[in-house]
Amino acid sequence: MAFEGNAVIFNPWQNGDNSIYANGWTGTFEARWYTCEAFNGHHLGLYGTVGRFGEASSNFDLFNKIALGGHGATGATNVKAAMLGLSYGYYLKLNHGWGLDFYVGGGILYAMYNTPGSTEVQKSGIKPSLSRLGVVLSYKF
């Protein structure tokens, strides 16, 4: 069993076509069970993520439907989101200290947000979400 946590604060630039734009923060906590030894081989995880964004908008249909409640390029403001999910991955030991961690995870997403020009709080309801996908180069001291 291993535990992992991270926090991300970001403010990406706005693309010329307004494809994705967001500013805010997220935090993730994950408990992992390795089938062999810690930080080696296959692992299953249970994770939770919370986040808050001042503004988010997208022209990507899937992201729009899942994360922004269908509001597309008009965007959403004051977004508060929570996710709970399961993950699967493989940790490849490269040598004594270095390794590569491949993982994918999905679960459920719940968000509250405002639409532009409105102070009424919208709720996304509980929706399926592919919320973790990555490759991480790591060093174990």
**56-67 pLDDT, tens digit each:** 655 555 555 555
- pLDDT band for position 87 (50/70/90)? very high
pLDDT at 17 over 80: no
Question: What pLDDT, on a 0 to 100 scale, did the predictor assign at position 80?
Answer: 85
pLDDT at 78 over 70: yes
Paired tokens of 92 = 């490849």
Q: How many CB atoms lie within 10 A of CB 104?
A: 13
- pLDDT band for position 73 (50/70/90)? very low
User: Which whole number is the average pLDDT over 75-82?
Assistant: 78
Question: What pLDDT, on a 0 to 100 scale, did the predictor assign at position 47?
Answer: 94
Evaluate if pTM is beyond 0.75. no
Strands (E), 14-126: 20-34, 41-58, 76-93, 98-114, 121-123
Question: What pLDDT, on a 0 to 100 scale, did the predictor assign at position 120?
Answer: 79
What is the pLDDT of the chain when averaged over all its residues?
78
Question: What pLDDT, on a 0 to 100 scale, did the predictor assign at position 6?
Answer: 64
User: Which whole number is the average pLDDT over 15-42?
Assistant: 78
User: Which whole number is the average pLDDT over 115-125?
Assistant: 76
Domain boundaries, the chain: 2-139
Pairing of strands 127-139, 20-34: unpaired
